[in-house]
Amino acid sequence: MIQPRGGPRDPPSPRHPRRRPHLRAWRHRWRHLPVPDFRRCSVGRLGVVSAAQSVLLRHLAQVEDFALDGSSPPLPEADHPRLDDLLIHLSPPRHALKGLVLNLPSYKLHSSVFSCVNLDYLEVKGCLLPGSTPGLVASLPLLHLTRLRVHYTRELEPHLNSAQFDALAALISGCPGLEQLVVIVGPEVAGVKLKIAAPRLRQLEIRARSADWMVEFQSLLPDLAQAKLQLPFFCYAQEGGVEASANFTEHFAGGEAGVA
């Protein structure tokens, strides 16, 4: 599983003769890593996408988990097609990806991610989901996705509309085994609604700042053990605290829910 730590150290310099054996050992290690992690690792002028492509093209082992952070410095839009190629490279039959973590500002996620039938954990920050086309919706039930974390950052504010949240709702409802869901909406988003239909959900966390942002539960959640909702207080004040509590009891059978 992807661990919350940076990647391995930079390779030793090939210019020094004494370091060449260490360089070969470093390359051998990279080529057999099941979890290439490109978060908080220095790649110099090469760029994180080029470094990831260089490693994956020479990779000999099956990649199980992959992490990439292109937020600092921000990844230029010109590199987005190369990101598409990288995600296509990680898709079956070449690799059986189980975990994917991406932090890529203003990048629209390539649909090849959802062809990874072994994908169990997906975490995207700063990314937009692809539109819910019939082909994409048909492939979702084949996924083994149980944990999903989506973080919409401020840079995405111009693109956050009802179509984007419909795509997120389609992803949630299209994965019948989903057990953990985290949705974070950083910017102010007006007049949109997130529909959640995930009957096997056990852990739920939703954080949003907009007063006009709404959440609608379209299925009972009998297995829900933990729920954390951080929404503007006056949203609940307008609806009435008593009614909100009644709705929570109706949907969260057998679990506990908290509102912050």
For the chain, the domains span 18-259
* Integer Cα distance of 199 and 205 in angstroms: 15
CA atoms within 13 A on the CB side of 153: 12
How confident is the prediction along the chain (260 residues), in pLDDT tens digits per residue? Answer: 444 444 444 444 444 445 555 555 655 566 667 777 877 766 655 678 888 887 787 777 788 899 999 887 788 888 899 999 999 989 888 888 999 999 998 999 998 998 888 999 999 999 999 987 666 777 777 788 999 999 999 889 888 888 999 999 999 998 889 999 999 998 777 778 889 999 999 999 998 877 777 888 888 889 999 988 887 654 443 443 333 332 343 444 444 444 44
Angle between the N-to-C axes of helices 48-57 and 80-90, in degrees from 0 to 180, rounded to the nearest 10: 30
Q: Please tell me what DSSP assigns to residue 62.
A: P
* Cα–Cα separations (whole angstroms), residue 256 to 55, 123, 183, 226: 45, 25, 18, 6
Q: Assign domain 18-259 to a CATH class.
A: alpha beta
* Integer Cα distance of 147 and 205 in angstroms: 12
**The two structure tokens encoding residue 244:** 């909100």
pTM metric for this prediction? 0.77
**How do beta strands 193-196 and 121-128 pair?**
unpaired
